[in-house]
Amino acid sequence: MVINFHDWPIEKVKGYPECFERIESLVFPQRKKVKRKAYREKWWQYAERQANLLERTSKLKKVLVKAKTSKTWAFGFIEPDIIYSTAVIGFVFEDFLHYAVLQSSIHQIWAEKYASTLKSDMAYTPTDCFENFPFPELRDTLIENGEEYYLFRREVMLTNQEGLTSTYNRFNNPKEKSADISRLRELHIEMDNAVAAAYGWGDLELGHGFHETPQGVRFTISEAARREVLARLLQLNHERYEEEVRQGLHDKDKKKAKEDKPTRQKPKKLAQPEGQMNLLAEPEVADEAEAGELVTPTPTAEIGSWDRCKCLACDKTVMGFSIAEHTQSEHQGKDPGYRKIGG
């Protein structure tokens, strides 16, 4: 049983004596010790109710959710009146259109790049993985792909009496040849292709199959496709950020950052827009050399594929995997030298 007194006054709460007595004996002794005044005074209410989220989700028929920390890449739907634990992230979406994009390998690659980890599990956080993600054009055709995939996955789970973890363990196992898992893989390919098409990436071969990843062998897109997808998403994020700058959406944040800026400071990201955060624009970096000192490049062997670097010739920010292309296209093949940002 879950006791939830919402934002009710204590007079109303006392109208449920059995529930009240239980939380009075278990919750009140702990709450009266905490420092935050609101927690002490309204001890019968949840500490962090997320009132805005609850109000918005209460109007939906179902709510899209994801486990905050998990090695399984899976989004799902729950009833809007479910009480969320801190281990669950809720999204104010009830449609299969957004589900298709978020469940896709396209979004997974982005999240794996920017999420933190807990042991071997991904720790998905909205600020690092969702708010900065550049969504494609949300075409209605994605609804069919998302719904078919979701409903079939649910049918597989119910038929086999398995949860998401067991189902995806089979999904990612090259030895698993069952008809239901094979069909789920086919639907995943169709959904990924539909999402890629929504971005306008008809030229991109995703190369689905069993590939080695940092999380082990997974049924996913090829390494070459992963690199290309991430590069295109980063570029799209950058373009959208620049457009938001032109619209003046960052002026307030930039002004505040300038006012608060100390004489010398650690590297930080540029002002972040409310919806899409900038990940490609070069962060403000404190001068690493006084005037007249030579800024030495980072040795190539120390630059990883996913490291962000500054080109010492043109001052542009370049990802490690695109250094060779940048050198050839911008500097006629002559190495200008690159310094790893933050390294």
Q: Which of 60, 34, 65, 57 is nearest to 47 (CA)?
A: 34
pLDDT, one tens digit per residue, over 179-227 is: 999 999 999 999 999 999 999 999 999 999 999 988 889 999 999 999 9
Torsion, Cα 67 73 78 83, to 10 degrees, reads: 0
- Nearest alpha carbon to residue 66 among 83, 46, 91, 101: 91
User: Is the model more confident about 124 or about 85?
Assistant: 124
Please spell the DSSP secondary structure of 82-102, one letter per residue: SPPPTTEEEES--SHHHHHHH
Please report which confidence band the pLDDT of residue 2 belongs to, taking 50, 70 and 90 as the band edges.
Answer: confident
- For residue 59, count other CB atoms closer than 10 A to its CB: 9
Enter the pTM of the model: 0.69
Q: What is 245-272 written as a DSSP string?
A: HHTTTTHHHHHHHHHH--SS---BPPPP
Token pair of 207 as six digits: 């190369």
Question: Where does the pLDDT of residue 297 fall: very low under 50, low under 70, confident under 90, or very high at 90 and above?
Answer: confident
Is a pLDDT exceeding 60 seen at residue 303? yes
pLDDT tens-place string over residues 155-172: 999 999 999 999 999 999
